[in-house]
């Protein structure tokens, strides 16, 4: 049997979501964030579809080099910068823009020779992960601007709590960034997806949409559709068996769920080996014949089970949607106690990918 588990990636929806990002920041350039294999969607295919983006943001050199080798011409920003001096040779060769977040990186630039680079100085306004403090900015910016290896400097920061629109910490971060005297000499970047959609104050010279490009809300209390976003990935599988079980019979590993009455149980060919979360509870929905149907029992490596009592016409071979069109990934993430980002990134290589422009 050929396994029908697959993900359909709608590239037109991806392009639509970039348009929505531009609508929220009409005066900003957009750096599309496509790290982690395009949030699980296929980095090269995503970059090719987003040819209107002004730049791309990735986490590391390997991702950037893959884009260049695929012929992607836009500026590429290394969001984690570089760690070793020998990486500068690759940054030069592939014409990349590193983020500077630590004085040790400036030491390496000053000790090297090569073409002048555009760099992004990351300012820690409250995320407390990477970046220099606002107090360090004047001295570090002076060093960068006087370094022969630096051609242009842009300033950026990252919002820690923008996914919560009731949290004033975001406004405090924006205030700290905007109070920098050095903003007059460098382009700025503040907004991520949550900033674009929820904090108009974060719009600046550059915005960095990420999760919203894939049709997912960056907020903890909404879904993408509420922001005019369209899901890009639809994860699909197939009903491969329907069995009738007696009242009280356990379903799946550990017998954690038992049939409350004689009932049909469907088996779907997808599991945590495909990236579907093992820890979703019974009751988590899938979409079968345009109807939400609950999962019962534990998800196993290759299969999961469904309560078919409300689907008397279900048949072997029917398509099952795990998330995507008609069933937002945010709903599955909430049931799993995680976020949509993680589910999208964890789809495994044995799931077949199909790209469409519907």
35 as an active site residue: the answer is: yes
pLDDT in tens, 227-281: 999 999 999 999 999 999 999 999 999 999 999 999 999 999 999 999 999 999 9
Classify residue 180 by its DSSP letter.
-
CATH superfamily of 233-356: Lyase, Ornithine Decarboxylase; Chain A, domain 1 (2.40.37.10)
Greatest CA separation for the chain: 78
pLDDT score of 237: 98
341 as an active site residue: the answer is: no
pLDDT score of 358: 83
Q: 322, 204, 310: which is closest to 271 by C-alpha?
A: 322
CA within 13 Å, CB half, 187: 14
Which residues make Cβ contacts (< 8 Å) with residue 175, sequence separation at least 6? none
Across 246-317, the runs of DSSP E, i.e. the strands, are 250-251, 257-258, 263-268, 285-288, 291-296, 304-307
pLDDT score of 1: 56
Could you tell me if 108 and 117 are in contact, meaning their C-beta atoms sit under 8 angstroms apart? no
In the set 169, 253, 272, 341, the catalytic residue is 253
Block residue for tokens 């008397």: 312
Provide the 3-class DSSP secondary structure of residue 300: coil
Pairing between strand 250-251 and 233-245?
unpaired
User: Taken in order 203, 228, 220, 305, is the CA torsion positive or negative?
Assistant: negative
pLDDT score of 3: 84
Tokens representing 46 are 């995503």
Q: Domain 11-214: state its class.
A: alpha beta
Q: Which H helix or E strand runs over 331?
A: helix 329-336
Tokens representing 26 are 């009409």
- In terms of C-beta distances under 8 Å and separation of at least 24 residues, what long-range contacts does 176-183 make, across chains too? 176/125, 176/126, 176/134, 177/123, 177/125, 177/134, 179/134, 180/123, 180/134, 180/137, 180/155, 181/138, 182/137, 182/138, 182/141, 182/155, 183/155
In the set 29, 35, 169, 276, the catalytic residue is 35
Could you tell me if 56 and 80 are in contact, meaning their C-beta atoms sit under 8 angstroms apart? no
Query: What are the sequence ranges of the domains in the chain?
Result: 11-214, 233-356
Q: 120, 134, 268, 84: which is closest to 204 by C-alpha?
A: 120
Tokens representing 159 are 């919002």
Q: Which residues of the chain have pLDDT under 70?
A: 1
C-alpha 355/C-alpha 334 separation (Å) is 27
C-alpha 24/C-alpha 175 separation (Å) is 20
pLDDT score of 183: 74
Tokens representing 294 are 């609950």
Q: How far is CA 345 from CA 56, 165, 180, 247, 357, in A?
A: 18, 25, 35, 38, 21
């Amino acid at each position: 049997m050929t396994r029908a588990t697959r993900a359909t990636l709608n590239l037109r929806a991806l392009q639509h979501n970039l348009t929505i990002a531009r609508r929220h920041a009409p005066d900003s350039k957009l750096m599309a964030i496509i790290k982690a294999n395009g949030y699980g969607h296929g980095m090269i295919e995503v970059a090719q579809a987003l040819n209107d983006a002004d730049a791309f943001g990735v986490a590391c050199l390997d991702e950037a080099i893959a884009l260049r080798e695929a012929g992607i011409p836009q500026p590429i920003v290394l969001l984690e910068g570089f760690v070793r001096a020998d990486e500068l040779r690759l940054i030069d060769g592939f014409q990349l823009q590193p983020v500077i977040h630590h004085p040790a990186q400036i030491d390496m630039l000053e000790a090297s020779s090569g073409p002048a680079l555009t760099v992004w100085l990351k300012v820690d306004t409250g995320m407390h992960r990477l970046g220099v403090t606002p107090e360090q900015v004047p001295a570090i910016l002076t060093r960068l601007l006087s370094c022969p290896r630096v051609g242009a400097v842009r300033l950026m920061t990252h919002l820690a709590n923008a996914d919560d629109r009731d949290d004033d910490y975001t406004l405090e971060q924006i205030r700290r960034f905007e109070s920098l005297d050095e903003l007059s000499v460098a382009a700025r970047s503040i907004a991520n997806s949550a900033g674009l959609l929820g904090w108009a104050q974060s719009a600046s010279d550059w915005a960095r949409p990420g999760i919203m490009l894939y049709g997912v809300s960056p907020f903890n209390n909404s879904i993408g559709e509420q922001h005019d976003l369209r899901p890009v990935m639809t994860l699909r599988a197939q009903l491969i068996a329907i069995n009738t079980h007696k009242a009280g019979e356990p379903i799946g590993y550990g017998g954690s769920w038992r049939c409350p009455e004689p009932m049909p149980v469907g088996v779907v060919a997808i599991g945590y080996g495909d990236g579907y979360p093992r820890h979703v509870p019974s009751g988590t929905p899938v979409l079968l014949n345009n109807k939400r149907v609950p999962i019962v029992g534990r998800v196993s490596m290759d299969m999961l089970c469904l309560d078919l009592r409300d689907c008397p016409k279900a048949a072997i071979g029917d398509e099952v949607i795990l998330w995507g069109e008609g069933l937002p990934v945010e709903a599955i993430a909430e049931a799993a106690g995680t976020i949509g980002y993680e589910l999208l990134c964890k789809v495994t290589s044995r799931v077949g990918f199909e790209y469409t422009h519907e």
